[in-house]
A and B are shown apart, each in its own frame.
Chain A
Amino acid sequence: MRFGIIQFPGSNCDQDAYHALADVLGQPTRYIWHKDTTLGDVDCVVVPGGFSYGDYLRTGAIARFSPAMKAVIEHAKSGGLVIGICNGFQILCEAHLLPGALIRNRGLKFICEYIHVRVETTDSPFTNACRKGQVLRIPIAHGEGSYFAEPWVIEQLKRDDRILLRYCAKDGEITDVSNPNGSLDDIAGICNEARNVFGLMPHPERASEKLLGSEDGRLIFESILRHAKTKRHETVDVS
């Protein structure tokens, strides 16, 4: 599975993503500069966390128009996998690859801490290695992570099983107190209609090694690898 990590001026989680994918998971991984007009040979694009373009105007608003993002949109339209983490999720929403928007945390404070998310569905290239209802302990670090969308959009996400992760308590219960930022419906991560684009506010790349505190985030990357394996068997099986 070839991963390509976009680097914008202000991205700061690109190297953590590279380490998780190349060093921990041993996958061919490369960086893609924001000015590049082509992605090269890449199966899964990672739009990393950080403060692209200083969050000027609105977070992700300017990154969305970069040449690399134009290529990412084409890649997504042709079915390629895209995962947007934190600022990446914000960029994917601004680029309309995902619905809704991420707004300022309801408590107004930047929150940097471990939280728990519950896997709501395993029917995706990003959560198929998890169990439905599984609780993952992953860190968040954001000031604008509150997911907002019109009620009819939230209904559609629920109907189509496109909410992949919800903030929860340690035991998996969804409570207001375990929602760190006020996200509607406790949404921590969603996918698009075609299920090939995933956006999440927590940082799985910071929870991929036991030594660093949690390995739970690794399951998301392992899901991507598992998805690739399944696809290969489907296309190669000429029996």
Chain B
Amino acid sequence: MKAKIIIMPKKTVLDPQGKTVKHALESMGFECIKDVRVGKFMEIELEGGDKAEFQKKIDEACHKLLSNPVIEEYTFEISH
């Protein structure tokens, strides 16, 4: 099974990377861009447990190490 995790900066945190990407897209001619925020994507391959166990473990891993709850939010899904 695989956990696919997305970590994004909180809305209250300034994201200069996102702003820079937005400006770059606009200067390339994309006129429809309202906002850009840049985050992280992780894939974790899991073994030796069931989906419910993995949900708990990945949530703990996200909260304790993979994200910094002061500045980031995370979402994840576990699938085959």
Residue numbers of A with Cβ under 8 A of B are: 57-58, 61, 65, 93-94, 99-101, 103-108, 146, 148-150, 182
Residues of chain A with a CB closer than 8 A to B1's CB:
none
Contact of A149 among B17, B20, B70 (CB under 8 A): B70
**By the criterion CB–CB under 8 Å, are A101 and B70 in contact?**
yes
Number of B interface residues in the complex (CB < 8 A): 12
Q: Which parts of B1-53 form the interface with A (CB within 8 Å)?
A: 9, 12-14, 16-17, 20
Q: In the assembled complex, how far is the CB of residue A203 from the closest CB belonging to chain B, in whole angstroms?
A: 23
Q: In the assembled complex, how far is the CB of residue A101 from the closest CB belonging to chain B, in whole angstroms?
A: 4
A57 and B71 in contact (CB under 8 A), knowing A108-B16, A148-B13?
A: no
Residue numbers of B with Cβ under 8 A of A are: 9, 12-14, 16-17, 20, 65-66, 68, 70-71
**By the criterion CB–CB under 8 Å, are A103 and B14 in contact?**
yes
Contact of B70 among A65, A100, A104, A108 (CB under 8 A): A100
Residues of chain B with a CB closer than 8 A to A101's CB:
68, 70-71
A16 to B12, CA, bound (A): 36
Residues of chain A with a CB closer than 8 A to B14's CB:
103, 106, 146, 148, 182
Beyond the given pairs A100-B70, A104-B17, 11 more chain A to chain B contacts, judged by CB atoms under 8 angstroms and listed by A's residue number, are A57-B66, A58-B68, A99-B70, A101-B71, A103-B9, A103-B14, A104-B16, A106-B16, A108-B16, A148-B13, A182-B14
Residues of chain B with a CB closer than 8 A to A99's CB:
70
**By the criterion CB–CB under 8 Å, are B65 and A148 in contact?**
no
A2 to B67, CA, bound (A): 35
Which residue of chain B has its CB nearest to the CB of A100? Answer: B70
Q: In the assembled complex, how far is the CB of residue A151 from the closest CB belonging to chain B, in whole angstroms?
A: 9
**By the criterion CB–CB under 8 Å, are B16 and A65 in contact?**
no
Which residue of chain B has its CB nearest to the CB of A60? Answer: B68
Residues of chain A with a CB closer than 8 A to B20's CB:
108
Residues of chain B with a CB closer than 8 A to A146's CB:
14
- The 7 listed contacts between A and B (C-beta, < 8 Å) are A101-B71, A103-B9, A103-B71, A106-B16, A108-B16, A146-B14, A148-B13
Contact of A57 among B16, B17, B65 (CB under 8 A): B65
A238 to B20, CA, bound (A): 64
A124 to B39, CA, bound (A): 38
